[in-house]
Amino acid sequence: MSSSSKKAFVTCGIVALGVAAVACSERIYMGEVRPPEGPPSFTDPSSADAALEGGGRLECIGTECPSPWTTCVSEDGPTYKCGTDLRRDPDHCGACGNKCRDFKRLHMTSRCVDGACEVECYSPPTTFEPYDWRNCNGLVDDGCEVDIYRDPKHCGACGNACAPGLRCNGGQCGCPAGKIQCDEVCVDPMTDDANCGGCGNFCNSGSDGCDPMPPRTRYGCANGACTVLKCQDPSADCNGDLGQSVCGGDGCEVESLDTTENCGACGIKCAAGLSCIDEGNGFECGIPCVKFGKVFCGDRCADLLTDRAHCGSCGAFCGEPGPNQASVCAKGICAYECAPGFGDCNGDPTDGCETNLAVHPANCGACGNECDIAAGQPCIEGACLMTECDAGVPR
């Protein structure tokens, strides 16, 4: 094509449709254009092009386990593809079969952190006073060797030593106010018959002067002195005549302080229609259970809105939960809730919430959400694995 032909030019066409009209268009040369090779192709702009224009990426079904997930055989349940996180799984920490161990004799255990078993102190739960074991010498060989609840050299914290002669009680040096330390035990010297007024001063509780003894009385320690008449628990001297005479009087005339005449203390009389009850704060006058918005069922107060043993009415017991399931009483109706990450996908309440939604490829993240099992697509942390198409190579 000559250089002169590369200039812009105008063509006009005359169209006769009853009325003459002239249509003109300006044509501009854009260079040589070749048709594309192969058949034409079309892309839905709502998917691929839209994703790329929005800064996203094209994703395809993933079938290979991305690090740190892998497939390890489990002893406790079914094995799923890519179902093991080597960073956090205590049974497969860093590698399949590498189990983090317990060292309870040394008061230690271990957990999986970033693919490695890390040891830490372990204090087992107890019914009585708890323990708090610590590794105060910094050595692993003897484990966590110090209980900072009891050790006077490390009381409450490693290195916090109590003063000479003071014991460590629950992580604090010495005894609470009003008590003294006697043979490693804190006692009240004002009332303790074995340490009355001071450690080792034992009071004889027998009858040394009165025969017979006033009703429901005994000799013991009172106000830090021995050989004093005092009431036997749970009786009380409400008329105050105990001790006014050596052996006379009616002794501890009130058998207990749990009656409507003496409720919680001498002289507190309950009004008509009220009972003397103890609902956790000592004996007081009231109607059983009403103070806390509950109902008296059998031998205790029950909240019919939340109590599994008395749900909606007294004796209406919510059944025991299945695996990975919790049985609850919600607004007086028994219900069953799955533990986080689990689902009852088979609709059978007898086996609880049997499906692990984090790894189950047929129920990935939710019951019925199925990954492409035929292609080998795994479920990882509740999502079907997707990877960038063509390994991220630009297209």
Task: Please determine, for residue 304, whether its predicted confidence score (pLDDT) is greater than 80.
Answer: yes
- With CA atoms as reference, report the closest residue to 117 among 153, 88, 74, 96: 88
Contact 252, 269 (CB under 8 A): no
Which residues partner with 181 through β-bridges? 186
Query: What confidence score (pLDDT) does residue 165 get?
Result: 80
Q: Given pLDDT bands bounded at 50, 70 and 90, which one contains residue 169? A: confident
Q: Is the pLDDT of residue 33 over 70?
A: no
Residue 20: predicted pLDDT = 37
Instruction: Compute the average pLDDT of residues 254-273.
Output: 93
| Ramachandran quadrant class, 69 (left: phi over 0; alpha: psi -120 to 50; beta: rest) | beta
Q: Decide if 138 contacts 150 (C-beta within 8 A).
A: no
- pLDDT of res. 56: 61
Overall size of the chain counted in residues: 395
Say what percent of the chain tops pLDDT 70.
Answer: 82
* Local confidence band at 23 (pLDDT 50, 70, 90 cut-offs): very low
The structure tokens listed for 243 are 């001790």
Q: In the predicted model, is pLDDT for residue 281 greater than 90?
A: no
The answer to whether 99 and 109 are in contact (CB under 8 A) is no
pLDDT at 77: 76
Q: State the average pLDDT over residues 198-219.
A: 81
Instruction: Find the range with the poorest average confidence among 114-128, 172-186, 310-324, 340-354.
Output: 172-186
pLDDT at 242 over 70: yes
pLDDT, residue 183, reads: 80
The pLDDT assigned to 395 comes to: 44
**Stretch 278-295: mean pLDDT, rounded?**
86
Tokens representing residue 153 in the block: 């050299």
pLDDT of residue 317: 94
Could you tell me the pLDDT band of residue 37, with boundaries at 50, 70 and 90? low
Do you find a cis peptide bond into 152, omega within 30 degrees of 0? Answer: no
Tokens 């800064």, residue located: 55
Distance of alpha carbon 354 from alpha carbon 77, whole angstroms: 10
Q: What is the mean pLDDT of the chain?
A: 83
DSSP letters, 73-120, are: --SSS---TT-EETTT-TTSSSSTT-PPPPBGGGTEEEEEETTEEEEE
How far apart, in Å, are the Cα atoms of 293 and each of 101, 264, 284? 48, 22, 16
How high is the pLDDT of residue 103? Answer: 93
pLDDT band at 53 (very low <50, low <70, confident <90, very high): low
CB 121 within 8 A of CB 133: yes
Q: What is the mean pLDDT of residues 171-181?
A: 88
Cα(108)–Cα(135) distance, rounded to whole angstroms? 9
pLDDT digits (tens, 9 = 90+) for 361-395: 999 999 999 999 999 999 999 999 999 987 555 44
In tens, the pLDDT along 319-329 reads: 889 999 999 99
| Tens of pLDDT, residues 116-144 | 999 999 998 887 788 999 999 999 999 99
> Contact 265/258 with Cβ under 8 angstroms?
no
